[in-house]
């Protein structure tokens, strides 16, 4: 514990004394950086001191690799489809995409594009290195009518763009890692959700530590967001307040603890403070049962929010429970997913999601928070890895979801998803996803969506 305190003090001194005054632009002064970093480290220290037991004997030396367990991950359909998995030992990616949305009135909005990114990392210097990445999306002009274009792929003007998506300083000392600047982060309420041409990126200041065996501590401050879900313009980093549809705010502070010290059990706790909007608490427990040739992952989750400060988004009182069962029979290539979420609050499940969100029942299109009122959702899905019958690198899946508000005549949709994934090799992969949404109320419309993403990593 003494080493951890020393590391915190060293990190703070290095950050405050060595950071360039105008790193990651936006007019942020040197004193502003000091304030942000001090707050992040303060949250981190409070979590550390509250969770680390004090022993009368000398601390035992260990590394994170000594942990008894690996993290058990409970995934929704949306989590599976939206994973961002850069291939090791590559410098970039070329992506081709197509999307089409058609509704019952025969209105069709579609788009196709070519894009990708190139990244580089400098060598380490006193524990620090610099990371840069540029991302571009090109609107292919042929037969794309601006009045019928699907704007999920492009910037606010439905045009091509290029963006410096990563620009960070990364420092690592023993079991402590910090990343300062533009980056991808993956937390329950802020994630890449990579199901369009460009995933979500964040201007953030984060710290992660694994000094305590089986315990991962994280804290951070999120200031801006870019990418297809920032709600304003995918081609630029936008203040988090604007992303959420209100005035600019200081940002989002978060802290978390993940514990894997009990065999086959993972526990996580996340706290978020959205300045002048809400406090958000997310907790999750996952447990694995083992049977011959089968693993069964059981998951429980709870997500709650309460308005705070000037309540820029008015009342927030989400109270959402969830459960999930995942059956993994790898020897026969079969995965089965069953999930349920229920929110009993007056405002519905929390919509304070900078990405796809944490709920177990999220689908390719629908999520429980889209209701904006109390309700429930349940999903069931089956995935099959055709490797079990001799077809390498080909996976298929189908899922059904039912989303219904407590006032059934207000919001009721059913969604059927089908997905096909094929990897030609480590570098080239293609995903085709189809979603059919069937509206069960008179105030809503049926529609279908087709999405194709192909990636080449180099």
* Mean pLDDT of all residues belonging to the chain: 87
Q: What is the pLDDT of residue 23?
A: 42
For domain 2-457, give the fold: Porin (2.40.160)
User: 304 pLDDT band (50/70/90 cuts)?
Assistant: very high
Residue 89 has pLDDT above 80, yes or no: no
User: 60 pLDDT band (50/70/90 cuts)?
Assistant: very low
Average pLDDT rounded to a whole number, residues 26-30? 45
168-191 pLDDT tens trace: 999 999 999 999 999 999 999 999
Average pLDDT rounded to a whole number, residues 301-309? 97
Most confident of 106-115, 216-225, 383-392: 216-225
Give the pTM: 0.85
323-352 pLDDT tens trace: 999 999 999 999 999 999 999 999 999 999
Residue 241 has pLDDT above 70, yes or no: yes
Q: Which of 154, 271, 252, 248 is nearest to 203 (CA)?
A: 252
Residue spans of the domains in the chain: they are: 2-457
SS3 3: helix
Task: Identify whether the C-beta of residue 166 lies closer than 8 Å to the C-beta of residue 237.
Answer: no
Q: What is the pLDDT of residue 147?
A: 77
Distance CA 307, CA 23 (A): 32
Give 392: exposed, middle or buried? Use CB within 10 Å, 0-12, 13-18, 19+: exposed
Residue 256 has pLDDT above 90, yes or no: yes
Q: What is the pLDDT of residue 408?
A: 76
Average pLDDT rounded to a whole number, residues 27-47? 50
132-181 pLDDT tens trace: 999 999 998 776 777 789 999 999 999 999 999 999 999 999 999 999 99
Q: What percent of the chain has pLDDT over 70?
A: 83
442-454 pLDDT tens trace: 889 999 999 999 9
Q: What is the DSSP string of 102-130?
A: EETT--EEEEEEEEEEEEEEPPPBTTEEE
Task: Identify whether the C-beta of residue 48 lies closer than 8 Å to the C-beta of residue 4.
Answer: yes
Q: By mean pLDDT, which of 182-191, 230-239, 406-415 is the weakest?
A: 406-415
């Amino acid at each position: 514990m003494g080493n951890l305190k020393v590391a915190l003090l060293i990190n703070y001194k290095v950050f405050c004394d060595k950071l360039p005054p105008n790193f990651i632009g936006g007019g942020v002064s040197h004193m502003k950086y000091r304030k942000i970093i001090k707050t992040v480290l303060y949250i981190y220290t409070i979590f550390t001191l509250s969770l680390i037991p004090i022993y009368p004997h000398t601390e035992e030396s260990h590394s994170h690799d000594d942990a008894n367990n690996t993290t058990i991950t409970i995934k929704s359909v949306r989590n599976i489809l939206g994973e961002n998995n850069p291939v090791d030992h590559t410098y970039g990616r070329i992506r081709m995409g197509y999307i089409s949305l058609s509704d019952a009135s025969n209105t069709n909005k579609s788009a196709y594009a070519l894009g990708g990114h190139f990244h580089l990392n400098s060598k380490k210097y006193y524990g620090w290195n610099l990371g840069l990445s540029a991302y571009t999306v090109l609107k292919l002009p042929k037969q794309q009518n601006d009045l019928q274009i699907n704007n999920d792929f492009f910037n606010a003007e439905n045009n091509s763009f290029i963006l410096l998506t990563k620009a960070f300083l990364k420092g690592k000392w023993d079991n402590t890692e910090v990343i300062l600047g533009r980056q991808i982060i993956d937390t329950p309420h802020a994630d890449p959700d990579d199901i369009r041409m460009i995933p979500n990126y964040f201007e953030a200041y984060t710290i992660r530590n694994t000094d305590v065996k089986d315990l991962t501590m994280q804290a951070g401050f999120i200031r801006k967001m870019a990418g297809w879900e920032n709600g304003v313009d995918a081609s630029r980093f936008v203040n988090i307040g604007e992303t959420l549809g209100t005035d600019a705010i200081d940002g989002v502070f978060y802290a978390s603890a993940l514990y894997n010290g009990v065999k086959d059990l993972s526990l996580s706790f996340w706290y978020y403070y959205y300045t002048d909007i809400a406090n958000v608490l997310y907790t999750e427990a996952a447990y694995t049962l083992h049977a011959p040739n089968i693993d069964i992952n059981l998951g429980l989750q709870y997500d709650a929010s309460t308005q705070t400060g000037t309540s820029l988004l008015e009342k927030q009182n989400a109270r959402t429970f969830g459960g999930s069962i995942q059956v993994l029979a790898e020897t026969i290539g079969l995965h089965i997913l069953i999930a349920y979420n229920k929110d009993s609050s007056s405002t519905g499940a929390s919509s304070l999601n900078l990405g796809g969100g944490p709920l177990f029942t999220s689908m390719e299109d629908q999520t429980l928070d889209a209701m904006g009122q109390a309700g429930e959702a349940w999903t069931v899905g089956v995935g099959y890895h055709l490797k079990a019958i001799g077809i390498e690198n080909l996976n298929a899946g189908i899922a059904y979801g039912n989303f219904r508000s407590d006032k059934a005549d207000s919001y009721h949709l059913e969604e059927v998803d089908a997905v096909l994934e094929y990897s030609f090799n480590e570098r080239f992969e293609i995903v085709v996803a189809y979603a059919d949404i069937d509206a069960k109320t008179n105030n809503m419309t049926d529609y279908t969506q087709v999405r194709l993403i192909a990636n080449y990593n180099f």
